[in-house]
């Protein structure tokens, strides 16, 4: 798993604002930050059709949301999007 470390000055108000926003949505600040990143990385709207999949995981892989599961990954652990669901 890739982890990024972000630091804010003690004087920055963004930390308090993120906590309030996360609480309003019933999620953690970490999940809120992930949403910000995902929204910022979203490509411009396109008319490209969605490629159907046999499963939700297959749909995500075929449409570039997730990488395929490699042979060395355990099938016991559910995909990350299931862990973050609320």
Tell me the pLDDT tens digit for each residue of 41-77: 887 777 888 899 999 999 989 988 888 988 776 555 5
Q: What CA–CA distance (Å, rounded) separates 49 from 67? A: 19
Judge whether residue 80 has pLDDT over 60: no
CA angle 64, 70, 71 (to 5 degrees): 155
Q: What global pTM score does this model have? A: 0.57
**DSSP track, 6-71:** ----TT-THHHHHHHHHHHHTS-HHHHHHHHHHHHHPPPP--PPPPP-SSHHHHHHHTTSSPPPPT
Confidence of residue 33 (pLDDT cuts 50, 70, 90): very high
């Amino acid at each position: 798993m890739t982890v990024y470390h972000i630091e804010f000055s003690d004087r920055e108000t963004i930390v308090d604002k993120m906590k309030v926003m996360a609480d309003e949505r019933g999620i953690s600040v970490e999940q809120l930050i992930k949403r910000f990143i995902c929204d910022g990385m979203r490509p411009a709207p396109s008319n490209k059709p969605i490629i159907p999949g046999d499963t939700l995981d297959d749909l995500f892989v075929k449409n570039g949301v997730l990488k395929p599961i490699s042979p060395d990954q355990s099938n016991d652990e559910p995909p990350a999007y299931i862990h973050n669901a609320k």
